[in-house]
Amino acid sequence: MTADYALEGVRHEYRAGAPALAAIDLTILSGQHVAIVGANGSGKSTLLKMLDGLVFPTSGAISAFGAPLTADALEDPAYRRDFRSRVGFVFQEADVQLFCSDAYDELAFGPLQLGLARKEVERRVREAAQQLRIEQVLDRPPYTLSGGEKKRVAIASVLTMQPHVLLLDEPTNALDPRSQVWLLDVLEVWKQEGRTVVMATHDLSAAAESADRIVVLSEDHTIVADGTPEEVLAQRELLLAVNLIHEHTHRHASTAHKHAHAHGPGSDPDLAHGH
């Protein structure tokens, strides 16, 4: 299996001396579903932005699809076009991502930027809209959509580019339980289609349910665990240390006891919460 991404000794600093990522070694294979988990501020979003060629390592190196991914490389129109068409990024806040005047233009934006023919753009918009069931809202401006609809439009606007790699930042945030289930189904379809998915989340249950690999970022911005969901979720002490679960005291009839407890919208209490 070929590697989509390879990161070696990557460090990133927004301000000197305050790293957002430190000593990151990470290889992501084609078709893998990887969940990056970590507490707020651990560097998940920065890592995703780096995989999308929006921020670059302060030191260390990153390559994508076998070629170095640098700011200079992206200046080349042919490389940029190729890279952008292969990688899609669904941002955490749909309000940031939906910048066109209506949902139709939103879906058409990516393919038009790739310079595709009008007919092809229209076909892709129709297809993505059907797949995400947003045909009814295509002519509406984004600000009249509900939170769930916005998320669907945001995802559809990335799917029209038919990317091989999908980067999702906190995809289950701001989704009601039903939409979360729907999202997990979409992820399953992508798995069947052989797409690579990298998703940043602090929702351990969503990670465990859809990913076949979990990478844990600590609060000092390094990777502290990397393995299958079973392997990672078994490491209670570690998850406690990186603030993904916390001690939780509650009472059963007359006895009080403590155990680790995971939070997250729609989290399944049995996953990290055995009695």
Partner 1 sequence: MHIPDGYLGPQTYAVLDVVMIPIWVIAARKVKRTLKAKQIPLMALGAAFSFVIMMFNVPVIGGSTGHAVGATLIAIILGPWAAVIAISIALVIQAGLFGDGGITAIGANCFNMAVVVPFVGYYLFRLVAGDSPSSSRRVVASGVAAYVALVAAAIVAGVEFGIQPYLAHTASGQALYAPYKLGVAVPAMALEYLLFFGWVEAIVTMGVVAALARSEPALLEMKPAARPLRWLWAGIGVLILLTPIGALAPGTAWGEWGSKELKAASGYAPANLERLGGLWRSAMPGYATPGISNALLGYLIAAVVGTALTVGVAFAVGALLARRGEAQPPEAPSATRHGGGGGRSLARKTADSIAHAITEVLQNEELAARPGLLQRLDPRIKLLTLVLFAVTASLVHSVWVLVALIGVTSVLAAASRVGVGSFERKVWASAGLLAFLLAAPSAMQIFTPGPVVVPLGPFSLTEPGLMGAATLTTRVVAAAGFALLVVWTMRWSDLLKALSAMRLPDVVVATLAMTQKQILTLLRTVEQIHLARESRTLTRGSARANRAWVTERMAFVVRKSMKTADDVYDAMLSRGFTGAMPSLVKPRLRPRDWAWSVASIALCAAMLYVDRVVGPR
Interaction site with partner 1 (CB under 8 A): 49, 52, 54, 77, 80-81, 84-85, 87-89, 91, 93, 95-102, 104-105, 108-110, 112-114, 118, 121-122, 125, 139, 141-144, 157-158, 161
Cβ-based nearer residue to partner 1, 93 or 220: 93
Q: Helices 103-113 and 118-131, interaxial angle, to 10°?
A: 130
Q: Provide, rounded to whole angstroms, the least separation between the CB of residue 166 and partner 1.
A: 12
Q: Least distance from C-beta 195 to partner 1, angstroms?
A: 16
Tell the smallest beta-carbon distance from residue 104 to partner 1 (Å).
Answer: 7
Cβ proximity to partner 1: between 21 and 245 the closer is 21
Task: In whole angstroms, give the CA distance from residue 232 to residue 238.
Answer: 9
Contact 6, 27 (CB under 8 A): yes
- Distance, CA of 179 to CA of 49 (rounded, Å): 25
Q: How far is the CB of 246 from partner 1 (least distance, A)?
A: 26
- Dig out the tokens for 254 from the structure: 């007359």
Cβ distance to partner 1 smaller for residue 168 or 272 = 168
Question: Is residue 148 packed enough to be buried (19+ CB in 10 Å), middle (13-18) or exposed (0-12)?
Answer: middle
The residue among 104 and 216 lying less far from partner 1, judged by its C-beta, is: 104
173 close to 181: Cβ distance less than 8 angstroms: no
Q: Phi-psi region for residue 9, left (φ > 0), alpha (ψ -120 to 50) or beta? A: left
Q: How far is the CB of 259 from partner 1 (least distance, A)?
A: 35
Residue closer to partner 1, measured from CB, 93 or 185: 93
